[in-house]
Amino acid sequence: MKMPILYFLAFIVPAMMTAVSVPIWRQWCKNTGLYDEPGHRKIHSEPIALAGGLSVMTGIIITIAFSYLALLIKFPDLTIAEQFHYGFGKRFDQLVAILCGSLAILVIGWLDDKNELKPATKFAGQIIVALATALAGVRITLFVESQIFSYIVTVLWILTIVNAMNFLDNMNGLCTGLFVIGAATFGAIATIREQYLVASFCWLVAGAFAGFLPFNYPKATMFLGDAGSHLAGYLLAVIAILPHFYSEKHPVQWAVITPLIVLAVQLFDITQVVIRRIINKKPVYIGDTNHISHELVKKGFRNTSAVALIWGVSGILSIIAVFINR
């Protein structure tokens, strides 16, 4: 089995698992009353199930479980098996930490969907997950000599991307599509760098969210919810840290800005929104219609067109990032 086929399977299998789990979680939402009700700043006129995050996480966990089992029992290519065994041995603790962090951030989002957590409570939960992830060894270390500073930068990075994706979950498919583009870009870069385990994980999570996209765009029959947007932000922040953008084999120092290029849309949106809210003396956690998606609609774009345009900009930036890393 060659690597391109393996990466294709890493993408398509979780996409299928997510799609298959959607009806199950939709029924669960119906039974438990987990819906997004119509209201202020909402474009839907009927309740929509908030099970996107649960469906995506199902696709991720099932795929990882079967993949690891297949690796332990039998692998068709011995060379690839050795490479992945080496990768698992080197990054096993980090992968466990990422999965635990993913589940934890999913639960925080789910509790917010269910009970509308106080902003301080939700933010405290995000900090705990981000700090635990950094303590587990998933952190920004390049060109950072101080370990304490490394922890601080990593926690701030995870918090920023988690909330940026949460903010951008304001139109059908926007958050989901941006995640797929970002994760696939980091997967492509890791593929180029021959970082097999990282690449496989990036393609896997990209596939899991891609499997949900048809249910979320152009017409949404299910929403990500805070559980899904939190999961998207957390995973995107983490997989932006995992690849080695600078190494002896690839000594281009400015390639370390790759995550900033890939996630430029998310970073721009949260920055301008927070600045506007501060200038207008409004709490930064209170939602409004000043996001880039809303601004495009104000200029005459339809919601679906605005989302597609933002995807396009993110896609172009991602191509630039891949080109830099070649």
**Domain boundaries along the sequence of the chain:** 3-248
Which has more confidence, 20 or 255? Answer: 20
The encoded tokens of residue 99 equal: 């999965």
Q: Is the pLDDT of residue 89 over 80?
A: no
The encoded tokens of residue 178 equal: 């941006």
Phi, psi of 100 (to 5 degrees): -65, -40
Instruction: Report the alpha-carbon distance of residue 179 to residue 303 in Å, rounded.
Output: 18
Q: Average the pLDDT over 186-194 and give the result.
A: 91
Confidence (pLDDT) at 305: 97
Confidence (pLDDT) at 119: 93
Instruction: Report the alpha-carbon distance of residue 164 to residue 184 in Å, rounded.
Output: 18
Q: Is the pLDDT of residue 12 over 70?
A: yes
Q: Average the pLDDT over 141-154 and give the result.
A: 82
pLDDT bracket for residue 161 (50, 70, 90):
very high
Q: Is the pLDDT of residue 176 over 70?
A: yes
List C-alpha distances in Å: 306 to 7, 168, 173, 212, 288.
31, 12, 11, 20, 17
pLDDT bracket for residue 325 (50, 70, 90):
confident
Share of the chain above pLDDT 70, in %: 85
pLDDT bracket for residue 46 (50, 70, 90):
confident
Phi, psi of 51 (to 5 degrees): -120, 10
Confidence (pLDDT) at 1: 44
List the one residue out of 54, 40, 18, 24 whose CA is nearest residue 226. 54
Which has more confidence, 2 or 219? Answer: 219
Q: Is the pLDDT of residue 249 over 90?
A: no
Which has more confidence, 59 or 5? Answer: 59
Q: Average the pLDDT over 95-121 and give the result.
A: 94
